[in-house]
Structure 1
Amino acid sequence: MTKDYSINMFKPGLKVIIFNQPCIIQNSKFVKPGKGQAFARVKFKSIITGKIVETTFKSTDRLQKANVYDISSIYLYNDHKLWYFMNSKTFEEISIKKNILNSKRFFLTPQCKCILTLWKNNIISVILDNFVYLKVIKTTPSIKKKSLNSSGIKLAVLNTGISIKVPDFIKVDDIIKVDTRTCEYISRV
């Protein structure tokens, strides 16, 4: 049995099917003008692509519930073709292809916790913690900024293989905090 939602049921966090794919509502504003039909302005994010779209729905429109569910898991290892996770409750091993992980694979370290999102029995998304701690294994020479007050920046290669910009004072073997959403250096640990 599928459940439909009317516009007065829209709220942030609700998972619905829009344009034949699962999306999560980020913001919804119900508008009842003095003249004419009521409507809702909805901002939603595609769970698969991450694309954010804003659209308007009439008061008679309904959206289908997205049969999406999350699995708490632990990252185990990879063989450069598949990345392997373990379901935290059933201890079942789950493999994910590189194209689903995209750049998130550079933030996975053994035993890190993440959430796998499934739709139609296929993994469509991997949700990581907002911040991870990674080790610097290589740095490049500093690139000086034009300002006298600011320090230089340089590229650092981290133990997962990703390169990010870091301040000049970061050295090899330092542990740094990285934002997984923006791929930016936050601080030295």
Structure 2
Amino acid sequence: MKISGVDIRPGNILEYENGIWKVAKTQHTQPGKGGAYMQVEMKNLIDGRKTNVRFRSADTVEKVHLETKDFQYLYADDDQLVFMDTETFEQIQLPTDLLGDAAAFLQDGMTVQLEMYDERPISVQLPDQVEADIVEADAVVKGQTASSSYKPAVLDNGIRVMVPPHIESGTRIVVDVYERTYVRKAD
């Protein structure tokens, strides 16, 4: 499906210069002279390259729809992650770097969505929020106001996040996977 250059939005998957690209950021610019354009920051889903491209309203680009399938995370094997198709029970191995920083939040049995292009997995989406245990939390400093003070804490997966003063070691919390921020105390 062809779309105009000014209709590109973050999260779109585009076919551009014989590659598959995911749009990270867009900025609509209307200079004093000349026509308006969309400045687009994209990441290649096959080889990981990043690029910035200007698209004018007259430019068209092919928008790609990826097939998504549910897979269950099984285990890590060196620098490979093993997933199982929840329908066919077929197992596949993917490189850890395909997930990037989010790989630290994978948990045994977690259901993830693989985005497939021509039957080839090119991206893995974890749930936006996961539960994790605090294994280490700094003590509260007296005199800090409760409204804006956060303290560093370490999760059971080794990731550091900032948490409110009332959160202590051993507490289970909900964390935003992609922002790496505290959301709330787990139920």
TM-score, normalised by the number of residues in structure 1: 0.71
Distance 1:8 1:56 in 2: 5
Name the count of aligned residue pairs: 177
Identity %: 20
Secondary structure of the 1:148 match is coil
The Cα RMSD (Å) is 3.6
Does the residue aligned with 1:118 lie in a helix, a strand or coil? strand
**What is the distance in 1 between the residues matched to 2:159 and 2:78?**
14
**Counterpart residue number, 1:187:** 184
Map of 1:28-43 to 2, 5 A cutoff?
41=38, 43=40
Q: Which amino acid aligns with 1:85?
A: F
Stretches of structure 1 that go unaligned for 5 or more consecutive residues are none
1:148 matches 2:144: yes
Residue correspondence of structure 1 range 27-66 to structure 2 within 5 A: 41=38, 43=40, 45-46=42-43, 48=45, 49=48, 53=52, 55-57=54-56, 59=58, 61-66=59-64
Q: Report if aligned partners of 1:17, 1:65 keep a CA contact under 8 Å in 2.
A: yes
Q: CA deviation at 1:125?
A: 1.8
User: Alpha-carbon deviation of 1:93?
Assistant: 0.8
Q: Work out the CA distance in 2 between the residues paired with 1:27 and 1:152.
A: 32
**C-alpha separation between the residues in 1 aligned to 2:87 and 2:53?**
36
Residues 177, 47 of structure 1: alpha-carbon distance in 2 compared, 3 angstrom cutoff: farther
Aligned equivalent of 1:173: 170
Is the partner of 2:179 in helix, strand or coil? Answer: coil
Mapping 1:64-143, distance limit 5 Å: 64-66=62-64, 68-119=66-117, 121-136=119-134, 138-142=135-139
CA contact (8 A) 1:156 1:166 kept: no
Provide closer, same or farther for how the CA distance between residues 120 and 57 of structure 1 changes in structure 2, counting only shifts above 3 A. Answer: farther
The list of structure 1 runs, each at least 4 consecutive aligned residues, that deviate by more than 4 angstroms after superposition, is 8-14, 24-29, 42-45, 49-54
Question: Relative to 1, partners in 2 of residues 1:6 and 1:139: Cα closer, same or farther, differing over 3 Å?
Answer: closer
* Cα-to-partner distance string for 1:102-130 (whole Å, 9 max, x where unaligned): 21111111122211123455433211111
TM-score, normalised via structure 2 length: 0.71
Answer whether contact 1:23 1:44 (CA < 8 A) is retained. Answer: no
Q: Quickly say closer, same or farther: Cα 1:172–1:55, change in 2 above 3 A.
A: same
Contact 2:74 2:109 in 1 (8 A): yes
Partners of 2:22 and 2:101 in 1: CA distance: 21
Q: Which runs of 5+ in 2 are unaligned?
A: none
Q: 1:85 to 1:17 in 2, by over 3 A?
A: same
